[in-house]
Each structure stands twice: as C-alpha cells, then as structure tokens.
C-alpha cells in the first residue's frame, strides 16, 4: 500500500511541477539581473490593451514554447497600457519599445544584456511578429536570430 501511495505522490508531483507554467517577468531590471546571472538573452513581449490573444494562445500557451523558452531565454512581458504600473515604469517601457524599433504591438524582441560598471546595455538580436506558420516555425525563426554569428 505504501508503495502505491509513493508512486501516486511522485506522479502527481511531476504533474503539478509541470503545470506551474512560465515565469514572465514584468520588471525589466529584475529580468536584466536574471539574464546576466543565467547568461541567457531576453525575450521581451511588448503588448497592450486591446491587443488580440493570438500570441498567447497560438505561441506562448504551447508545450513547445514552454520547453524551448525554459532552455533558451528569460521571458519579459511589458504591457504598454498596464494601469497598475508607475509613470516611471511606463516611460521606461516606452523608451525600450522605441530603442528596439518596435513599431507595432504585439511584438517580440530578442536581446542580449550586458552589465558593465553598473550600466546596462542591450544588443538587439531581432524582432519577431506573429508567425502564421505555427509554433515550430516561430521557434525556428527565434533560433535563427539567437544563433546568428
């Protein structure tokens, strides 16, 4: 009986760990620190009010994206219309959007981060919009951007 109970607990625990979902950071400073620590680039998702849920439903909600993102990037979600953030954060988000050349939302920016002498600098790798070909094609496009030499 104890053996069956242990097997059940192990099975359920692996299910709950897997179902915890992705960690999206909403503070760019926190994301920069984690990126620097883990030596992974940032995937910044610029979004706003009234923006469709296509990215979330067709890209971010997939198991393929979850597996890929855990191995390759630090996830950041910057909502340009979030009423709960301060004016300073809104201005910072808008400056980042403009600095990366994001002209439409939703859009994803892949960037490397460097911390030197207390200053943060970014190396924009590329921008990605919605991909009509599906998740595998979208991930392939991300990989080609991340692996440019």
Q: Determine which helix (DSSP H) or strand (DSSP E) holds 15, and give its type and residue range.
A: helix 2-18
Give the residue-averaged pLDDT of 94-114. Answer: 94
Cα distance between residue 22 and residue 74, in whole Å = 10
- What is the predicted pLDDT for the residue at 16? 39
Superfamily of domain 23-146: Glutaredoxin (3.40.30.10)
Cα distance between residue 64 and residue 61, in whole Å = 9
Domain locations in the chain?
23-146
Instruction: Categorize the per-residue pLDDT at 15 as very low, low, confident or very high, splitting at 50, 70 and 90.
Output: very low
DSSP string, 46-109: EE-TT--SHIIIIIITSHHHHHHHHHH-EEEEEETT-TTS-HHHHHHHHHHHHHTT--SSSEEE
- Per-residue pLDDT tens for 41-58? 999 999 988 787 877 888
DSSP annotation of 39:
T
Pairing label, strands 42-47, 74-79: parallel
- Per-residue pLDDT tens for 64-99? 999 999 999 999 999 998 889 889 989 999 999 999
């Amino acid at each position: 009986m104890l053996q069956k109970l242990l097997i059940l607990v192990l099975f359920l625990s692996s299910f709950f760990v897997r179902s915890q979902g992705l960690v999206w950071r909403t503070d760019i400073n926190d994301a920069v620190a984690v990126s620097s620590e883990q030596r992974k680039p940032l995937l910044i998702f610029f979004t706003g009010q009234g923006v469709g849920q296509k990215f979330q439903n067709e890209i971010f909600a997939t198991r393929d994206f979850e597996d890929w993102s855990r191995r390759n990037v630090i996830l950041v979600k910057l909502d340009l219309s979030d009423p709960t953030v301060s004016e300073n954060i809104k201005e910072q988000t808008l400056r980042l959007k403009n600095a990366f050349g994001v002209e439409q939302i939703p859009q994803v920016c892949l960037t490397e981060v460097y911390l030197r002498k207390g200053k943060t600098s970014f190396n924009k790798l590329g921008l990605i919009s919605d991909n009509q070909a599906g998740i595998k094609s979208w991930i392939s496009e991300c990989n080609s951007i991340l692996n440019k030499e």
